[in-house]
Chain A
Amino acid sequence: MKPYLSIEKLTQKFPDGNGGELTVFENASFGVDKGEFVVILGHSGCGKSTIMNILAGLADPTSGGVIMDGQEVKGPSLDRGVVFQNYSLLPWLTTLKNVMFGVKARHPEWTKSQVEEHATKFLAMVGLEGDVIHRKPSQLSGGMRQRVSIARAFANHPKLLLLDEPFGALDALTRGTIQDELLKIWGQMEQTVFMITHDIDEAILLADRILLMTNGPHARVAESVDITIPRPRNRTEIIEHPNYYAIRNHLVQFLGKRSKELAGQPTQAGQTNAPATVRIDLTEPAEDPEDKRPALKAVNS
């Protein structure tokens, strides 16, 4: 059976500016299960945002396709909420109106006060309350803008949440709070999350599975690393878990060395580049080769 979200032989080429072609990635294929939290890690420029734009339906790949819930992704949809890398707030609207913009689109039948109440609630959730919400984005700090953008996406309860480095501009403290909120929302709703980050620790804390991309051009989704740490996770406690450093070392190794070694190999036509599954679990070394993920999910819900 196909996974909930299925990325099939995705290829993206851009003109390279010298009359030639730049192949960002080729025949990338992977799946994401319903309710799964997947994080993608890779160096700058390998094509993460490009993949996300295709998942969002904002861009068409050169070839290949995306199937979500049995239907091909053809354009953008309210079912796929996006937090853009550059926040993409509308600068002529206040913070509150920016979030209301999204809520109104989702619930056209709601009254203005319902919309406002809902938007205010989600702004409060990301720590924006009081006068701040009547300010324009240009009067906010980078981290505050990012939080508005997060509130706008969360408030719409999309089935698939696409997050492009959503916490990049936040200080460690705020970042922690919003990571917790994200986990809470994700635990409550049956949401699937696909997130880009550069932060390895954040990835381990949040993800069920981490996809690792090699450097571009001709980038590949080379590995899919299961995070074998039970939920609920806590940022101070997970480092005590025996699997934590094993997984972390594997990721650091990949990004530091192997992402370069594996890079730049054009693939044969028709070949699918499905990532190799990597499962590191020091707690039960010998027995049980079965996938343990369902059991781990149960802890969370």
Chain B
Amino acid sequence: MEKLSLNQRAAILSVVMLFVGLLAWEAAIPAQKAVKELTEYELLTGAGQPKAGVPPPSQVLAKAWEQLSNPFYDAGPNDKGIGIQIGYSIYRVLTGYFLAAFIAIPFGFLIGMSQVAYKSFNPFIQVLRPISPLAWMPLALFIIGDSEASAIFVIFICSIWPMLINTAFGVAAVREDWVNVARTHELGPIKTAFAVILPAAAPTIVTGMRISIGIAWLVIVAAEMLVGGTGIGYYVWNEWNNLDLTSVVFSILMIGVVGMLLDALFGLLQRRVTYAE
């Protein structure tokens, strides 16, 4: 037999683990139900109904098939397809995120260029950064009023810090040798910024962008549970209120998948700008 590559072996192991995990999960559910069916009281209160129990993977798969075969249906405010809900969430995340990027990257650039600016802004950044973005929610709702805009603001505020800090740090850490190359070639400040400092700091900046998008996706679920209306976070909450745990599990999986795709996108960008010294 030919030797399999590292990646092939890892892939096989992943698939095996997936199947073992799903089988164990599937096997665990009926046992649970059997125990529950024994108590008459639970039967009477409806707790033994399959809807309220943790669903087996087969049910989740059926749900996924049903949802994903028609992801964009819209049957009123409390019944929208998973695609629409995720679309709302992605729209909010990207809006808040790019607003943050448009401010954080140029501003971080300027801070990184000047040691005085770097040091004088640092205390403010250090205090504002650890604040949970959801803590801003009441203030945002009060000042902005609109719940939609408040959710976007929360995304904005949580994604700005990693980008700001990484950009400033990356720019400040650009090797002086490379700046000297620009200087001996009489490049002006704008050209130096774009031809030398930006590519030199790009890996650090993109790392910050990647951290930010991860945090933004984490935060949007919680934010939407709070503001309600639309979005994947609201969807999870709504299905929990309907006691439809199959939909809850399904949407949890979808949150993971979308998060992974967003991260992979920035991973691609990161690979493009990374250089070896």
Q: A interface vs B, CB < 8 Å?
A: 56-58, 75-78, 80-82, 84, 86, 88, 90-93, 101-102, 105-106, 136, 138-139
Bound together, the chains give a CA A165 to CA B149 distance in angstroms of 60
Given contacts A88-B178, A90-B199, contact A58 B277 (CB under 8 A): no
Q: List 10 A-B contacts (CB under 8 A).
A: A57-B184, A75-B183, A76-B183, A82-B180, A84-B181, A88-B178, A91-B277, A92-B199, A136-B276, A138-B277
* B185 partner residues in chain A, CB cutoff 8 A: 76, 78, 101-102, 105-106
Contact of B180 among A58, A101, A106 (CB under 8 A): A58
Q: Are A77 and B275 in contact (CB under 8 A)?
A: no
Bound together, the chains give a CA A73 to CA B199 distance in angstroms of 30
Contact of B275 among A82, A92, A101, A106 (CB under 8 A): A92
Q: Are B184 and A56 in contact (CB under 8 A)?
A: yes
Bound together, the chains give a CA A138 to CA B277 distance in angstroms of 6
Q: Are A76 and B199 in contact (CB under 8 A)?
A: no
Closest Cβ of chain B to A251, distance in Å, is 30
Given contacts A136-B275, A138-B277, contact A92 B200 (CB under 8 A): yes
* B178 partner residues in chain A, CB cutoff 8 A: 88, 90
* A90 partner residues in chain B, CB cutoff 8 A: 178, 181, 196, 199-200
Closest Cβ of chain A to B26, distance in Å, is 50
Q: Are B184 and A58 in contact (CB under 8 A)?
A: yes
- Cβ of B40 under 8 Å from chain A: no
* Chain B positions 185-244 with a Cβ under 8 Å from a chain A Cβ: 185-187, 195-196, 199-200, 202
Q: Are B187 and A86 in contact (CB under 8 A)?
A: no
Closest Cβ of chain B to A77, distance in Å, is 6
Bound together, the chains give a CA A82 to CA B184 distance in angstroms of 7
Residue of A nearest to B185 (CB): A105
* A86 partner residues in chain B, CB cutoff 8 A: 177
Q: Are B183 and A91 in contact (CB under 8 A)?
A: no
Given contacts A78-B186, A101-B185, A105-B187, contact A88 B276 (CB under 8 A): no
Residue of B nearest to A87 (CB): B177
Q: B interface vs A, CB < 8 Å?
A: 177-178, 180-181, 183-187, 195-196, 199-200, 202, 273, 275-277
* B186 partner residues in chain A, CB cutoff 8 A: 76-78, 105
Bound together, the chains give a CA A52 to CA B200 distance in angstroms of 25
Residue of A nearest to B276 (CB): A138
* B195 partner residues in chain A, CB cutoff 8 A: 101
Q: Are A58 and B183 in contact (CB under 8 A)?
A: yes
Q: Are A81 and B184 in contact (CB under 8 A)?
A: yes
* B183 partner residues in chain A, CB cutoff 8 A: 57-58, 75-76
Closest Cβ of chain B to A74, distance in Å, is 12
Residue of B nearest to A98 (CB): B181
Closest Cβ of chain A to B196, distance in Å, is 7
Residue of A nearest to B187 (CB): A105
Given A84-B181, A91-B276, output 12 extra A-B contacts at Cβ < 8 Å: A57-B183, A58-B183, A77-B186, A78-B186, A86-B177, A88-B177, A90-B199, A92-B273, A93-B199, A101-B181, A136-B275, A138-B276
Q: Are A88 and B275 in contact (CB under 8 A)?
A: no
Given contacts A90-B178, A92-B275, A136-B275, contact A76 B184 (CB under 8 A): yes
Residue of B nearest to A88 (CB): B177
Residue of A nearest to B177 (CB): A88
Given contacts A102-B185, A105-B187, contact A88 B277 (CB under 8 A): no
* A136 partner residues in chain B, CB cutoff 8 A: 275-276
Contact of A80 among B184, B202, B277 (CB under 8 A): B184
Bound together, the chains give a CA A105 to CA B184 distance in angstroms of 10
Residue of A nearest to B275 (CB): A92
Bound together, the chains give a CA A56 to CA B184 distance in angstroms of 7
* A80 partner residues in chain B, CB cutoff 8 A: 184
Bound together, the chains give a CA A91 to CA B102 distance in angstroms of 27
Bound together, the chains give a CA A48 to CA B180 distance in angstroms of 17
